[in-house]
Structure 1
């Protein structure tokens, strides 16, 4: 238990480190606007107006959470931190149920440091909660092989329903759980009637909300991606490239091959087979939907909840390696993950620092209380100006906040008076001033992920 405790401490440290340092970004702003609603009824009204997922569970929980701990960046994200730490414990439990204690510990270690699991455990969004509930569903299902009880069956059905209320993607995972448990129905539920009753109960609980996931167009479309993006999905779970993926798939096969004596019959393979289904089926269904319907496959957060299955499968292979080889592979994976964490989780410019700009602007406005202030906003995203919502969340209420494109379309004589700023979201250190021919630069300030120009203009030629 000392080792397991150390792994949980590592998971907590990676997820809580400098948690409030970065400003919220657009998706988190949406969540916080929901969670800061004064009542659940107001939250539901806003949900249908501003959140394209229409998923109510996480904002409802976060509403209670920030009622206790406040609405700062650290407080808003800390619920996800807790979910991420619990997920590490659940991964250990699943590894123990399906394989052995060594697999559970290695899997928990991988889950503790997995870059995407760490990343989304540091965001005020629902993805860490979705992963945790998915792990809880699979853990309860696997535990039914050891001892079947009405209590576990009820808990499993409730978790299935919670998956659906957490995110539309929960539908895909619930379907995968239903498929896996049906293929091995004797091992999990003894008889088909019981399987049907449990899953029908979950469906009845979730049914009232499902229609809300299909009554509107998605906010984001990725385009229809080649098959290699589906095949390469697990690369992001640890890092590396296709060569690393191939090596880890060989490691998975090696471990399962050595365990063929333990898993002698069809029923014995229910655990490993369900882990493979967990890893493969949800991304495949989402990819197929993206070709047949709306092309949404692509963002790593949409396949995040399959990460634990991959890590457990890798861990069971790692646990079967000779000691020296195992140590070398573990060190190599740790180095690979450390590089990935530095680039994708703890990068200082990961999110535009609107909070710092807001603090500076508020101080400036306090010195000149009668001065009008206009801020033109340009996003780093060429398709959607998501920064405009972030600016409205952070900047003082007296500011006039306008999309930059409106600076060009404004009628002559309707130019802003007072102080004028152009704020540009950027992935680089400093962004150039857009529309430099219509603005005259007075000064420039660089914040993490954000460049702000104090300007005169726009001028008309």
Structure 2
């Protein structure tokens, strides 16, 4: 390398940027955390985590979301016992993990650049590494994908944190070797995949990278003088992680059954440009051009300085969407942003490197302000308070149910269960519809979800032709009253 990423002596400034990243990122993750109602997926996580005991959590999670170990659900179960079950309380755990992940991104970028920058007797090289790493942490802190998953009561924020730790140990094993680094690589690989099997997409990129290292004889010392571990040892650590997960692989058959049941029918088949469009929509339409420009610049810079590490970063970005794109046509549509959440981190790393490659300090400052401002502007649009359609619909349905105390729920059964007041649970029954029992046993009132298939909605409306209330696309309907003439269902 002909030039450090930044001039030396910037340690204090890097520390200030990192503190700013943690402060701003934490604010974005916790601001108005309970202002929106739960999503469908969040209601499933609530149903799993709200079980009375750990044994019940395991049983309910196996029934609702089989094919993985309920690491997040068990953690959320303990968290809810302490802090309650409100929207804000449940989302606070992922938000806290997301805030801690800002520091993990800083450490990860330090590890990546430590393999790139030559070791020096002074601190100039380290100062440059810290500044780029702090800038990457700031970009991650305000980035839409990382903020969005940290504000959801789901396992994706936790999975991302495990993946960050896993990649940190991968680079440490590559640079330093050592039993502790191989053990960390094995442990965090296993935990990440057990938390959600989409983490295996990152392992696939790493496996391909290790094959590349073997082909280019990467066991030798690099030109930068950085010691590298044997690729086969890192591969053995990944294989050991998969061996630890053997008891859980049997659960994959339940995921296959879910495909057959149509659990993933809500995902649309991808178009030919969908892998590219996924990153565009994930980063936001406004900041995306800047991310693309500086990431390309950073990729070129990293490729020139140390090609081996650049290969992993590029595989980490590109291979997961390619696998999901192929699987969408071979198995079932599965190309959605949440499954690619960790692939945005290497984009942030390249973006930070690209910004710090600019020749002028003023240019670097302007680029940083532009990309951070546009990211915050995009994130802020998701921080506005939402409506209370499900809470309002449940209140109306309870009033209409009368002495029957039974409410039908279409499709989003657990959302209705959550927004029924806890005081009502003992003397209220929530029934899944369409109802196929005797007509006299059907509940008097039902709530139709906007996610219910049109054919199911038509079937429900034949039995429940009276529209009691509409709250946007959530509809409360009831059976006809005796002696009352009703218009045909529409």
* C-alpha separation in 2, matches of 1:317 and 1:203: 35
Shift of residue 72 of structure 1? 2.6
In the other structure, the counterpart of 2:416 is 391
In the other structure, the counterpart of 2:207 is 178
**Structure 2 CA distance for partners of 1:300 and 1:257, relative to 1, 3 Å:** closer
* C-alpha separation in 1, matches of 2:384 and 2:330: 37
- Is the 1:16–1:78 contact (alpha carbons within 8 Å) kept by the matching residues of 2? yes
In the other structure, the counterpart of 2:283 is 238
Match of 1:214 among 253, 256, 262: 253
**Unaligned stretches of 5+ in structure 2?**
1-14, 114-128, 222-226, 452-459
* C-alpha separation in 1, matches of 2:272 and 2:20: 39
**Structure 2 CA distance for partners of 1:437 and 1:24, relative to 1, 3 Å:** closer
Shift of residue 319 of structure 1? 1.6
Match of 1:290 among 328, 337, 362: 328
Residues 124-145 of structure 1: CA deviation (Å, up to 9, x unaligned): 1110011111111111112234
TM-score of the two chains, using structure 1 as the length reference: 0.81
In the other structure, the counterpart of 2:10 is none
TM-score of the two chains, using structure 2 as the length reference: 0.76
In the other structure, the counterpart of 1:12 is 26
Residues 289-322 of structure 1: CA deviation (Å, up to 9, x unaligned): 222222222x211111211111111111012223
* C-alpha separation in 2, matches of 1:259 and 1:388: 50
In the other structure, the counterpart of 1:255 is 298
In the other structure, the counterpart of 1:224 is 269
- Is the 2:68–2:248 contact (alpha carbons within 8 Å) kept by the matching residues of 1? no
- Secondary structure of the structure 1 residue equivalent to 2:250: helix
**Unaligned stretches of 5+ in structure 1?**
378-384, 427-433
- Secondary structure of the structure 2 residue equivalent to 1:227: coil
Cα RMSD after superposing both structures: 3.4
- Is the 1:114–1:237 contact (alpha carbons within 8 Å) kept by the matching residues of 2? no
* C-alpha separation in 2, matches of 1:81 and 1:10: 13
Give runs of aligned pairs for residues 130-279 of structure 1, distance below 5 A.
130-184=159-213, 186=219, 190-215=229-254, 216-218=257-259, 219-221=263-265, 222-240=267-285, 245=288, 248-258=291-301, 263=305, 268-279=306-317
Give runs of aligned pairs for residues 355-434 of structure 1, distance below 5 A.
355=391, 358=394, 371-377=403-409, 385-395=410-420, 396-397=424-425, 398-401=427-430, 420=445, 422=447, 425=450
How many residue pairs are counted as aligned between the two chains?
A: 427
In the other structure, the counterpart of 1:431 is none
Residues 179-237 of structure 1: CA deviation (Å, up to 9, x unaligned): 32443352786224423432232121112212312342332132431220012222134
* C-alpha separation in 2, matches of 1:224 and 1:416: 36
In the other structure, the counterpart of 1:341 is 379
- Is the 1:8–1:85 contact (alpha carbons within 8 Å) kept by the matching residues of 2? yes
Shift of residue 86 of structure 1? 1.7
- Secondary structure of the structure 1 residue equivalent to 2:251: helix
**Structure 2 CA distance for partners of 1:361 and 1:456, relative to 1, 3 Å:** closer
**Structure 2 CA distance for partners of 1:210 and 1:445, relative to 1, 3 Å:** same
